[in-house]
Amino acid sequence: MREKVIELATDRKILIFLILVIGFTILGPFGTYELFDPWARLVFWSVVITGIGALMHFGIVLALKGAGLQSLPWPVRIAIGAMVAAVPSVGVVIFVTAFMFETGVSPGAFPVIWLQVAVIGTLAGIVEYKPPSAPPEPEPERPVTTRFHKRLPEGAPHDIVSLSMNDHYVEVTTTEEQHLVLVRFSDALDELDELDGLRLHRSHWAARAHLRSLIKRGRQLRAVLSDGRELPVSNSYAGQLQDILELEEV
């Protein structure tokens, strides 16, 4: 998660940089509007924000990744990183101001500059490094209920793996248990019309979701199901299975 946040911050960094540089150039805060013309303000704020931004990035990333700070909320960690990075950032302001201003910065202004840089760095950092919202959890797939399901005992699992003919009964295998249902095999298949499955043999049917592979032992084809069972496949139904499963010889 920390790596994703840092990658996301990199994507936002250019936008934040441009907003700050353009905004500060137009508004001219901290007396720069009266002292500089627009081009000088653009140079001043470009240099200052670039230097402070590099220090803020380093400080905030360390705070976000620091093992000792992981118990704190992410905005608090960003604020800590910004406050620490604001100390050397004041040096950037002093250096650039001394180069472009004749008067420089008085020592009494240091705490004020530190506070201003820390607050702006924290707000920008919260925007840049805000964790991505967790994607909504997908809704669980509702089991398909067919007419045949009404023949199963109440409370029986709905996820049918296979049907097999057993004398006058149909043996129903679900993901959890087996049942014998007194019904003709053909009628059972008709009642499963809403459930995607394939006839494997005159006596066997399997849900498509539970087909795993098609194997050949000698001349006999067998379908391997999700529960590990193997059901025979007759030549009459082999073609449709080979369209969806790769044939393996064992």
Per residue of the chain (250 residues), give pLDDT as tens: 444 444 445 567 777 888 888 988 898 887 778 778 888 889 888 988 898 888 998 898 889 888 888 889 989 999 999 999 999 988 888 888 777 766 666 667 788 889 988 998 899 888 888 776 666 766 666 667 899 999 998 887 789 999 999 989 999 999 999 999 999 999 999 999 889 999 999 999 999 999 999 998 888 899 999 999 999 999 999 988 888 888 888 7
Give domain status of residue 140, yes or no. Answer: no
Task: Examine the domain organization and report whether 84 and 153 are in the same domain.
Answer: no
Which range marks the domain in which residue 31 is found? Answer: 2-128
Task: Examine the domain organization and report whether 16 and 118 are in the same domain.
Answer: yes
Task: Examine the domain organization and report whether 13 and 120 are in the same domain.
Answer: yes
Q: Whole-prediction pTM value?
A: 0.47
Give domain status of residue 133, yes or no. Answer: no
Give domain status of residue 168, yes or no. Answer: yes
Task: Examine the domain organization and report whether 119 and 191 are in the same domain.
Answer: no
Give domain status of residue 143, yes or no. Answer: no
Judge contact between 44 and 32, C-beta under 8 A.
yes
Task: Examine the domain organization and report whether 36 and 70 are in the same domain.
Answer: yes
Task: Examine the domain organization and report whether 110 and 22 are in the same domain.
Answer: yes
| CA angle (62, 12, 6) in 5-degree steps | 30
Task: Examine the domain organization and report whether 80 and 19 are in the same domain.
Answer: yes
Q: What pLDDT, on a 0 to 100 scale, did the predictor assign at position 10?
A: 59
Task: Examine the domain organization and report whether 205 and 92 are in the same domain.
Answer: no
Q: What pLDDT, on a 0 to 100 scale, did the predictor assign at position 206?
A: 95
Give domain status of residue 141, yes or no. Answer: no
Final residue belonging to a domain, choices 128, 163, 185: 128
Q: What pLDDT, on a 0 to 100 scale, did the predictor assign at position 45?
A: 87
**For residue 220, what are the β-bridge partners?**
217
Task: Examine the domain organization and report whether 42 and 110 are in the same domain.
Answer: yes
Judge contact between 52 and 121, C-beta under 8 A.
yes
Long-range contacts of 183-188 (CB under 8 A, 24+ apart): 183/151, 188/148, 188/151, 188/163
Task: Examine the domain organization and report whether 159 and 227 are in the same domain.
Answer: yes
List the one residue out of 71, 76, 67, 89 whose CA is nearest residue 125. 76
Give domain status of residue 134, yes or no. Answer: no
| Token duo for residue 76 | 């608090």
Judge contact between 85 and 59, C-beta under 8 A.
yes
- Count of domains for the chain: 2
| 128-140 burial code (b ≥16 CB/10 A, e <16) | bbeeeeeeeeeee
Longest dimension (CA), the chain: 104
Task: Examine the domain organization and report whether 7 and 87 are in the same domain.
Answer: yes
Task: Examine the domain organization and report whether 53 and 98 are in the same domain.
Answer: yes
Q: What pLDDT, on a 0 to 100 scale, did the predictor assign at position 102?
A: 63
How far is CA 51 from its chain centroid? 33
